[in-house]
Structure 1
Amino acid sequence: MTRELVAHNHPANETYTQLHSAIPKIAAGFVTWFVLMAWLFFDRQSLVALPLAFITVLFLVVGLCFSASFLVWYRHQPDYDRHPNEVPFRDWITGKFAVWGSQQSAGQAAAEILLPMAAAAFGITAMGTIYMISSSLIGSGMVS
């Protein structure tokens, strides 16, 4: 039972049509983490440096394209569509998110958007850690 007199103004009842501004920032953080871990763990031989450089340039170009498209969208957004003040992330994540004429939890939508990038970042970190441990064990002669 809630103590609020007006329950319909609660953020959990709010339906949002736009992503919160923190979601693209978190996604960019995961992509940056992926690229940094690739360079940190796998730049050991001269054969790997060129593909890593190409992958880094690819992610840089994709990030710049997304940033440019966001800036164009933001600057040409109609005045009636703009929010006068940003909704706090805590309120946004507890609300609902409009998807293809339906609604789902905003937290679930954020998880579905960020999960592939998080899995790639955590996966390359785990693979790099295993690679470093196994190469140090083989180099020390503990495993033949």
Structure 2
Amino acid sequence: MTVTRQDQEITHDQQASRGLHRWVYYAMVGLAACYSLSAWIGFAGGYDEYLLFVVTGFIVMSVALPAIAGRVWRHHRLSRPGKAKAFPDWIAGEFDTSDHPVKASTAMIEILLPLAAVAFGMTLFAVLALVES
């Protein structure tokens, strides 16, 4: 079946993926770790280390809570799909949003771009803080 929407032709031969690939989640965890590590490298020392502990705690909780919830969901869902898709197959397919399916590569970029901007921005701040001291 082919549907035309806003001068785009979309074929619905494959079912759109409803979840992200595990490597996207690993990238999110890596970017959160980069953010936290950059904050510690650039701004540790002095009286403000307790603030870094608080920020690191928030980052750990923001990664741990969705990971735990996802693990519980996977363990208790009723339908057990077959083997998980390989990353090249997933990235070539479509990702189902609530409005309409989009390319999985576009969805991955839109999800990871804000996280990468914050992580790399903090890394830049850490480098500038080290150069200044």
Q: Classify the secondary structure of the residue corresponding to 1:86.
A: coil
What is the root-mean-square deviation in Å for CA atoms of aligned residues? 1.8
Q: Cα deviation per residue 1:1-20 (whole Å; 9 max; x = unaligned)?
A: xxxxxxx9x9xx55212211
Is structure 2 residue 108 aligned with structure 1 residue 107? no
Amino acid of the structure 2 residue aligned with 1:22: W
Show structure 1 runs of 5+ residues with no match. 1-7, 136-144
Q: Cα deviation per residue 1:41-85 (whole Å; 9 max; x = unaligned)?
A: 11032x220100111111122222112101111011122xx3311
Displacement after TM superposition at 1:134 (Å): 2.9
Amino acid of the structure 1 residue aligned with 2:87: F
Is structure 2 residue 40 aligned with structure 1 residue 39? yes
Is structure 2 residue 20 aligned with structure 1 residue 19? yes
User: Which position in structure 2 is the counterpart of 1:140?
Assistant: none
Q: Distance in 2 between matches of 1:54 and 1:37?
A: 15
Which protein has the larger Cα radius of gyration, Structure 1 or Structure 2? 1
Of 82, 98, 118, 1:84 maps to 82
Q: Distance in 1 between matches of 2:15 and 2:127?
A: 43
Q: Distance in 1 between matches of 2:96 and 2:62?
A: 26
* TM-score (norm: length of structure 1): 0.77
Identity of aligned residues (%): 27
* TM-score (norm: length of structure 2): 0.83
User: 1:60-75, aligned counterparts within 5 Å?
Assistant: 60-75=60-75
User: Which position in structure 1 is the counterpart of 2:126?
Assistant: 128
Q: Distance in 2 between matches of 1:25 and 1:83?
A: 21
User: Which position in structure 2 is the counterpart of 1:50?
Assistant: 50
Runs of 4+ in 1 over 3 A off after TM superposition: none
Displacement after TM superposition at 1:23 (Å): 1.2
Q: Distance in 2 between matches of 1:101 and 1:61?
A: 29
